[in-house]
A and B are shown apart, each in its own frame.
Chain A
Amino acid sequence: MADEKRLQEQILRISGVNPRKCMKCGKCSATCPSYDEMEYHPHEFVAMVEAGEIEPLLRSESVFKCLSCMACVERCPRGVEPGKLVEAFRLAVVRTKDSERLKPDDLPALADDELPQQAVVTAFRKYLK
């Protein structure tokens, strides 16, 4: 339990988000383009961080489904910024040793001739450290 508390503090510090501002309207998840791909949805990230349930989120594929499109951030009536919370989880995962989501060697198989460099550099930002 002590570990979970420390992880909660880490996520709050990295993200700068205050989940207690949330009024549970669900608009973040309603507008999320990756909703169908996620096990835990943006509103659940907010609620679970507030409740101190960090481990399930760290282990979930959901952290890699966020598009960082900022729709939830823009449309939250309380300025909670759920997307920044998801980003903090993604960072907490990829900053851990040997937990890169994408290795440079994997890229050639994924890329075609038209793939813009922008996609590659963005993927490096998002999936490895």
Chain B
Amino acid sequence: MKTVSYYPGCTLRNKAKNLDFYARACAEKLGFSLCEPETWQCCGGAFTASEDEIATKLSAVRALKAARDAGQPLVTVCSACHNVIKRTNEAMKNASFADKVNAYMAQDDDFKTEYHGETRVYHYLEYLRDVVGFDRVKEAVVHPLSDRKLAAYYGCLLLRPGKVMAFDDPENPVIIEDFLRALGAEPVVYAMRNECCGGHLCLEDAEATKKRSNAVSDSAKNHGASAIVTACPLCRYNLIKNGSELPVIYFTELLAEALGVKEARNG
């Protein structure tokens, strides 16, 4: 069985335990194993775009470096972790930025060699698409999600900035829809699928976040979806908190249901 480095992040250890549990269980079922580097730390939740920020990017670099040293790709599940880690990795390919970060990192006990963005970072969905293959996922399905009309919700973090994330076409993505088809479900394409839920503004201006979240959940509902599918704990929180009439489900939970892994957890 192939082992890859795995970055769960803070939320998957707490409020989004299902997102994590089913990611691990489904990986085993699909023939790969998720191994956490001992040195991973919280990514910080948000990538700071400014070029003079260094300290706030160090925690993500530690996990990237550990994966490089293990000779493995780094797989993430949470949309926010994925955004931060991929963008930090890209920033580390810039020599003048990497020099400053490596100078900080040299104080770590386990620091041996400099890091310059060598690790290949995959979101779990990318790993299924590019390495495992959605065809193989489809073959492993034992409970097809037939007759389920599901709305893939990308939000902002998986897709943008498109040049760095390179997750899919940032304006017309298909990866989650293709994933849902592999599970036997019918994807619903709707206008707001790659717009922001209101994100961290829920702590600063709850009313503004409510408007954004309702626009997304209403759009999915009006296009006939029976549920919304996400990879992001904050998107899920905001949509539910602000009264989404549709259930909001993590993609790993759906995958577990289709692969017959979910019953195993429930008893």
Contacts and interface: CB of A to CB of B under 8 A. Distances in A.
Interface of A: 13-16, 33-34, 36-37, 64-65, 67-71, 73-75, 81, 83-84, 87-88, 91, 101-102, 107, 110-112, 114-127
A87 B50 contact: yes
A122 B161 contact: no
A125 B46 contact: yes
Contacts of B16: 116
B37 interface: no
A13 B45 contact: no
Contacts of A64: 204-205
9 contacts: A15-B49, A67-B198, A83-B49, A84-B49, A88-B50, A115-B15, A118-B232, A119-B45, A122-B199
Contacts of A71: 156, 160, 195-196
Given A13-B52, A71-B156, A123 B15 contact: no
A85 B252 CA distance: 36
A110 B199 contact: no
Contact-residue size bin, chain B (C-beta under 8 Å from the other chain)? 35 or more
B201 interface: yes
Interface in B51-94: 51-53, 56, 78, 80
Given A67-B198, A68-B199, A119-B202, A125 B52 contact: no
A125 B160 contact: no
B205 A69 contact: no
Contacts of B128: none
Given A74-B160, A121-B42, A116 B56 contact: no
B160 A69 contact: yes
Interface stretch (B27-35, B183-191, B233-241): B233-241
Nearest to B198: A67
B200 interface: yes
Contact of B195 (A33, A68, A73, A87): A33
Contacts of A101: 204
B170 interface: yes
B50 A15 contact: yes
A122 B80 contact: yes
B247 interface: no
Contact of A37 (B155, B196, B208): B208
